[in-house]
Amino acid sequence: MDKGEEYARAFSERPWRALLWELERRVLDRVVERHPRGPRIRLLDLACGTGRVLSYLEDRVERAVGVDLSPTMISVARGRSTRAEIILGDATADDLLPGRLFDLVTAFRFFPNAEPELRAAAMRTIRRLIAAGGLLVFNNHRNTSSLMHRTARALRRGGREGMSPAEARGLVDSSGFKIARTYHIGLLPITERHGVRPWALVKRVEHAAFALPLPASLYQDVVYVCRRT
């Protein structure tokens, strides 16, 4: 099994990651249902990876485009997509999508894994490609202020890698966007390496926590819905 296939299977075979993806789909549903362009949305999935988000949304928009640098990831994305245009390349290159504009740009599991310089370059690209009234939706699945990261640091088991809420907000504000809404996912201090547990109970707790008015900073996975200013 190559890297792309292994990565794709993790979202169905690893219970915690599968649960986070289940709740992320609820967020994506809300974003698309409330988007002012409705089914006429032009979607760009930046760093689309294996096409998880792209394949979920492609039949609900007018046009869908996915871009990623990894040949193994792109190979899987092309296998699971039915109608999206999938491009192998660097989205930050000016000549990759010349003259094209999008109403919705998604970037999941990208920014907290990227170096600050790449984050800034990606935001400049998104700013250039997003149409007036368009939305940027990205997530920070490695929120360094979450209960899980705080627990890991207290136990001296890491918990420092990722992106803080302040870094995420600073990135948005400095790039000409404004956070319109945040969603929070993954309250419990659980990692994918945890063993067998009552997953049915964990799932009930997390679905309830998704709707609670708790500080988003406590959650592992924060989804930001942003508008151009």
Query: Could you tell me the CATH number of the domain that includes residue 110?
Result: 3.40.50.150
Full-model pTM = 0.96
Q: What is the pLDDT of residues 3-57, one digit of tens each?
A: 899 999 999 999 999 999 999 999 999 999 999 999 999 999 999 999 999 999 9
Q: What is the pLDDT of residues 131-177, one digit of tens each?
A: 999 999 999 999 999 999 999 999 888 888 999 999 999 999 999 99
Q: What is the pLDDT of residues 169-191, one digit of tens each?
A: 999 999 999 999 999 999 999 98
Domains in the chain: how many in total? Answer: 1
Say if residues 84 and 74 touch (Cβ distance below 8 Å).
Answer: no
- Relative to beta strand 221-228, strand 102-107 is unpaired
Cα-based distances in Å from 23 to 48, 155, 195, 221: 18, 28, 21, 10
Residue 210 has pLDDT above 90, yes or no: yes
Task: Give the pLDDT of residue 211.
Answer: 96
Residue 193 has pLDDT above 80, yes or no: no
* pLDDT band at residue 194 under the 50/70/90 scheme: low
Q: What is the pLDDT of residues 54-97, one digit of tens each?
A: 999 999 999 999 999 999 999 999 999 999 999 999 998 878 99
pLDDT > 70: what percent of the chain? 98
Say if residues 151 and 66 touch (Cβ distance below 8 Å).
Answer: no
Among 25, 18, 71, 62, smallest CA distance to 43 is for 62
